[in-house]
Amino acid sequence: MPLNIHPDTKVHVFREPFIFDTPYMGRDESIPQLEVGYEAWGNPAHPAILVCHALSGNCHATDANEPDDARKSWWNAMVGPGRVIDTQRYYVICINMLGGCGGTSGPATINPDTGQSYGMHFPVVTVHDMVRSQRMLLDVLGVKRLHAVIGGSMGGFQALVWGILYPDFVERIIPVASTGYSNQFMIMTNRVQIDAIQLDPNYQNGHYTPDKTPEIGLAIARMIGFTTFISPVMMERKFAKAHQSLREPFRDGYFKEQMFHEAENYLRRQAEPFSQEFDANSMVYLLQTWNHFDLARKYGTLARAVQPIKSRMMLIAATGDNLFPPYLSEDIVKAMAVHGKSVLYELIEEDYGHDFFLIPDIIEEKIAPPLKVFLES
């Protein structure tokens, strides 16, 4: 199966059953052993920071050999020597989320009881399951307390749940471009991505083979996702005047294959390698985890959900984020205020879109300065 695993990833195997939150037909679901993929940087004696990745990420948050190359890891501008999350000052850990395909157990993992991948027989995964698996690994690594948990998008889901499940273990939680519940726009766009994968003829109800995977469906799903990651303003700025082909559109029968607009080229460039490196079932599982993330529904109200939190909280949102609009972060601020809890809210004036927290210039100019103050206070 294709895996989103980096060569530097370490995998710890817990050789006892891991029980999931969501039962099936009245019975607890479990796997006989749990594998957790991770990377760590810095001195274990220093204050520990957990970095949680987003939907399609992995544990390679920074590249020790190429810390200035944004293409080598997904958060080099944020994590590394001299960065705001300084690996010379902090012990930094990034853990692949449960259900993914970057080293931690998921649908592509081989079930030791059968010798075959779990596929769609893998249990339903919740964000709470992800956080519990992360806590298990931190205990093995000897981490007694977290200076901070930070994550963007789905990583922010995990940061919030860390504060809820382990209020005495975490000093600071920092959800970036995130939310306490999935809104209807997210649910609809994620549903279309799931359908694109599952309607690929090669999907075979999740029982595809390594040599015949639903690459086309996964590529389409990824293209759909990318249309939500940058804002309409940024799309116009980035693509409107860039036409790559000299031919006239719709003059031949191949316009679906021969890209005309640079926007189309961009989507294909993003989607094709992804469809060869990521597991389709993992994508289905993680999108479903995202769609069903709703702290208000789980706990009764969002205010009740955040009530256990003792950690200091900093929320970071951007005005141009059309996938996770600022009101979603503001709802968390209001929920915290019900209990008189302290929370900092940093609203960035930025029209890049949802992926703003991955852009080096935005990180250095607008995110790093207030975040540095929060981490050091």
| Each residue's pLDDT tens digit, 272-318 | 889 989 999 999 999 999 999 999 999 999 999 999 999 999 999 99
Q: 354 catalytic, yes or no?
A: yes
In terms of Cβ atoms closer than 10 Å to its own Cβ (0-12, 13-18, 19+), residue 377 is exposed
Choose, from 86, 200, 321, 355, the residue flagged as catalytic: 321
What's the pLDDT score for residue 3?
80
* Residues 160 and 173: beta-carbon distance below 8 Å: yes
pLDDT at residue 231 tops 70: yes
What's the pLDDT score for residue 261?
76
Q: 321 catalytic, yes or no?
A: yes
What's the pLDDT score for residue 2?
52
Counting residues of the chain whose pLDDT is more than 90, the rounded percentage is: 84
pTM score of the predicted model: 0.94
In terms of Cβ atoms closer than 10 Å to its own Cβ (0-12, 13-18, 19+), residue 209 is exposed
Q: 153 catalytic, yes or no?
A: yes
At 190, which helix (H) or strand (E)? helix 184-198
23: left (phi over 0), alpha (psi -120 to 50) or beta: beta
Q: Which DSSP category does 342 fall into?
A: -
Cβ contacts of 153 within 8 Å, gap of 6 or more? 54, 55, 176, 177, 178, 324, 354, 357
Alpha-carbon distance of 172 to 166, in angstroms, equals: 11
Strand partners, 313: 173, 343
What's the pLDDT score for residue 31?
97
Q: How many CB atoms lie within 10 A of CB 345?
A: 15
pLDDT at residue 251 tops 70: no
What's the pLDDT score for residue 194?
98
Nearest to 331 by CA among 213, 146, 194, 180: 180
Choose, from 117, 133, 354, 355, the residue flagged as catalytic: 354
Amino acid identity at 58: N
* Residues 170 and 148: beta-carbon distance below 8 Å: yes
More confident site: 181 or 210:
181
The tokens for 248 are: 């006239």
Mean pLDDT value across the chain: 93
In which band, very low, low, confident or very high, does the pLDDT at 1 lie, cut at 50, 70 and 90? very low
Choose, from 153, 275, 282, 311, the residue flagged as catalytic: 153
Nearest to 156 by CA among 190, 125, 131: 131
Q: How far is CA 259 from the centre of its chain?
A: 29
Question: For 204-232, what is the mean pLDDT?
Answer: 94
Q: Which DSSP category does 306 fall into?
A: H
pLDDT at residue 208 tops 70: yes
Alpha-carbon distance of 99 to 101, in angstroms, equals: 7
What's the pLDDT score for residue 242?
60
| Each residue's pLDDT tens digit, 340-373 | 998 999 999 999 999 999 999 999 999 999 999 9
Domains with residue ranges and CATH for the chain: 183-291 (1.10.1740.110)
- Report how far apart, in Å, the C-alpha atoms of 141 and of each of 94, 183, 297, 351 are: 12, 36, 33, 40
Chain position carrying tokens 């195997």: 13
pLDDT at residue 7 tops 80: yes
What's the pLDDT score for residue 186?
97
What's the pLDDT score for residue 14?
98
Lowest model confidence (mean pLDDT) among 91-100, 174-183, 250-259, 305-314: 250-259
Q: What are phi and psi of 49, to 5 degrees?
A: -125, 130
In which band, very low, low, confident or very high, does the pLDDT at 258 lie, cut at 50, 70 and 90? low
Alpha-carbon distance of 276 to 216, in angstroms, equals: 10
In which band, very low, low, confident or very high, does the pLDDT at 17 lie, cut at 50, 70 and 90? very high
Q: How many CB atoms lie within 10 A of CB 161?
A: 27
Q: Which DSSP category does 101 fall into?
A: S
| Each residue's pLDDT tens digit, 50-78 | 999 999 999 999 998 898 888 899 999 99
pLDDT at residue 46 tops 90: yes
3-state percent helix, strand, coil for the chain, nearest multiple of 5: 40, 20, 45
* Residues 329 and 354: beta-carbon distance below 8 Å: no
Order the strands of the 10-14 sheet from edge to edge. Answer: 10-14, 34-41, 91-95, 48-52, 146-152, 172-176, 312-318, 343-348
Output the furthest CA–CA distance in the chain (Å, rounded): 65
Q: Which DSSP category does 22 fall into?
A: S
